[in-house]
Amino acid sequence: MKILDGKSTSASVKAMIKKQANSLIEVGIKPALAVILVGENKASKTYVNAKEKACKECDIASIIHRLPEQTKQEELLALINVLNIDDSVDAILVQLPLPKHIDEKIVLESIKDSKDVDGFHALNVGKLSSGLDGFVPCTPLGVKVMLDEYGIDVSGLNAVVVGRSNIVGKPMANLLLNANATVTIAHSHTKNLSEICKNADLIVAAIGKPKFITADMVRDKAVVVDVGINRLDDGSLCGDVDYENVSKKASFITPVPGGVGPMTIAMLLSNTIKSATNRAKKLGLK
Ligand code: NAP
C-alpha cells in the first residue's frame, strides 16, 4: 500500500506556483486573490486564514474582506461588483457557508466567471461538463492532480464517487469522466452501495460520515481517495474511510489529515495563477 501524500504533493505544487507568480510579477502582474468572509463562523475564519497564509508563501496578494454577520445581500453583491471590475483583482472567492439571510446561489452567480476560482459559477460548471477549459472546483481538481502526480491513469478504470455535492462529488465525477474513467455516482438513495464499491478500481469518498467506507466494501488493490473531514468527539479528525482497515487492502490511499485537504488550497492558488496569466496574455505581456 502506498500513501497518496497531499502534504508533499501540495508543497511541490506550491513551489511551482511561487515560480509562476514571480515570473508574472517580473512582467508587472501581481497575482491577486480577493476573499470575502461574512460573519463569525469559526471554521470559515480558520480556512480564510489558511488561504491568506498560503498566498503569502507563494507571493500572491490576498485581499481579505471581513464583513459583519448582518451584512445585507445587496451590500455583498455591491462589493463583488467592485471586485469584478477591478483589473488588479484576478480571483474572487466568497467563503461558504453564508449567513442564512443571504442567497448563496445569487451570490455565486454574481462573481465574474473569469475570476471564479472556486469554479462554482454555472458557466464554469458547464465548461467542466462539456470538457472545455474553465475553472474547476479546487477539491476535486486537487484529487485529480494528486492521482496524476502518482502516475495513476484513470482511463478505463471503474470509478465510484460516493457523494454528489456541487462542490465535490459532481465535479469529481466529471473530471474522472473527462479522463475516460467509467464513473458511477452514488448518494444517499443508492441501493447496494457495498456491491457497487466492491466493483470499483477507484473510490472517491465525499460523504461527511466518519469511517463510512469499510474494508468489506473495498476490493483488493483499489485506489481509495478520502475527501471527508469529520471531527470526532475526542477532537481528532478522521475521514469518510476506515483508514486503519481499508489501508490494508488498498493499493493507494489518502490519509486524513494530510491527503486531499492540503491539495485544495494549492489548487486555489493554481487557479489564481491561471487567471493572472490570462490577464497578462490579454495585455500582451505573456
Ligand atoms: P455534502 O454536500 O453534505 O454531500 C454529501 C454527499 O454524501 C451527498 O451527496 C449525500 O447524498 C451523500 N451521502 C450522505 N449519506 C450517504 C449514504 N449513507 N450513502 C451514500 N451517500 C451518502 O458534503 P460535501 O460538501 O460534498 O463534503 C463531503 C465531505 O468532504 C465532508 O466531510 C466535507 O467536510 C469534506 N470536504 C473536504 C474538503 C477538503 O478540502 N478536503 C473540501 C470540501 C469538503 P444526497 O445527495 O442524497 O444527500
User: Is the pLDDT score of 286 beyond 90?
Assistant: no
- Read off the pLDDT band of 164 (50, 70, 90): very high
User: Is the pLDDT score of 132 beyond 90?
Assistant: yes
Q: What is the pLDDT of residue 284?
A: 96
**Known catalytic residue at 282:** no
Q: Give the H or E element holding residue 52.
A: helix 42-57
Distance (angstroms) between ligand 1 centre and the Cα of 260 equals 14
As to burial, measured by CB atoms within 10 angstroms (0-12 exposed, 13-18 middle, 19+ buried), residue 158 is middle
**Known catalytic residue at 73:** no
- Of 207, 214, 217, 265, best ligand 1 pocket probe by most atoms within 8 Å of the beta carbon: 207
| Residue 138 beta carbon below 6 angstroms from any ligand 1 atom | no
Q: What is the pLDDT of residue 9?
A: 98
- The one catalytic residue in 95, 116, 144, 240 is 95
- Of 226, 227, 240, 264, best ligand 1 pocket probe by most atoms within 8 Å of the beta carbon: 227
- The one catalytic residue in 90, 113, 116, 118 is 118
3-state helix, strand, coil in the chain (%, to 5): 45, 15, 40
Confirm if 205 and 190 have CB atoms less than 8 A apart: no
- Percent of the chain having pLDDT more than 70? 100
**Known catalytic residue at 19:** no
Q: What is the pLDDT of residue 260?
A: 98
- Residues in binding site for NADP(+): 163-165, 229
Helix axes 6-26, 260-282, angle to 10 degrees: 20
Long-range contacts, stretch 21-28, CB < 8 angstroms, 24+ apart: 21/58, 21/59, 21/60, 21/273, 21/276, 22/59, 24/273, 24/276, 24/277, 24/280, 24/286, 25/59, 27/280, 27/285, 27/286, 28/285
Domains along the chain? 28-112 (3.40.50.10860), 138-261 (3.40.50.720)
Q: What is the pLDDT of residues 38-80, one digit of tens each?
A: 999 999 999 999 999 999 999 999 999 999 999 999 999 999 9
Distance (angstroms) between ligand 1 centre and the Cα of 136 equals 18
Q: Which amino acid is at 43?
A: A
Q: What is the pLDDT of residue 264?
A: 97
Q: What is the pLDDT of residue 97?
A: 97
DSSP line for 192-240: SHHHHHHT-SEEEE-S--TT-B-GGGS-TT-EEEE---EE-TTS-EE-S
Q: What is the pLDDT of residue 269?
A: 98
Distance (angstroms) between ligand 1 centre and the Cα of 160 equals 14
Q: What is the pLDDT of residues 139-159, one digit of tens each?
A: 999 999 999 999 999 999 999
Helix axes 138-149, 260-282, angle to 10 degrees: 100
Confirm if 117 and 268 have CB atoms less than 8 A apart: yes
Confirm if 208 and 167 have CB atoms less than 8 A apart: no
User: Is the pLDDT score of 90 beyond 90?
Assistant: yes
Fill in the DSSP letter of residue 255.
Answer: -
Distance (angstroms) between ligand 1 centre and the Cα of 222 equals 21
**HEC assignment per residue over 164-186:** CCCCCHHHHHHHHHHCCCEEEEE
- Of 145, 165, 230, 263, best ligand 1 pocket probe by most atoms within 8 Å of the beta carbon: 165
DSSP reduced 3-state for 10:
helix
Across all residues in the chain, what is the average pLDDT?
Answer: 98
Name the residue among 65, 69, 64, 70 with its Cα closest to residue 51: 64
Q: Could you give the CA distance from residue 251 to residue 221 in angstroms, rounded to a whole number?
A: 4
Confirm if 134 and 178 have CB atoms less than 8 A apart: no
pLDDT (average), residues 185-213: 98
- Percent of the chain having pLDDT more than 90? 100
Cβ-based neighbours of 261, under 8 Å, separated by 6 or more:
6, 229
Name the residue among 145, 136, 111 with its Cα closest to residue 33: 111
As to burial, measured by CB atoms within 10 angstroms (0-12 exposed, 13-18 middle, 19+ buried), residue 67 is middle
Q: What is the pLDDT of residues 206-260, one digit of tens each?
A: 999 999 999 999 999 999 999 999 999 999 999 999 999 999 999 999 999 999 9
The size of the chain, in residues, is 286
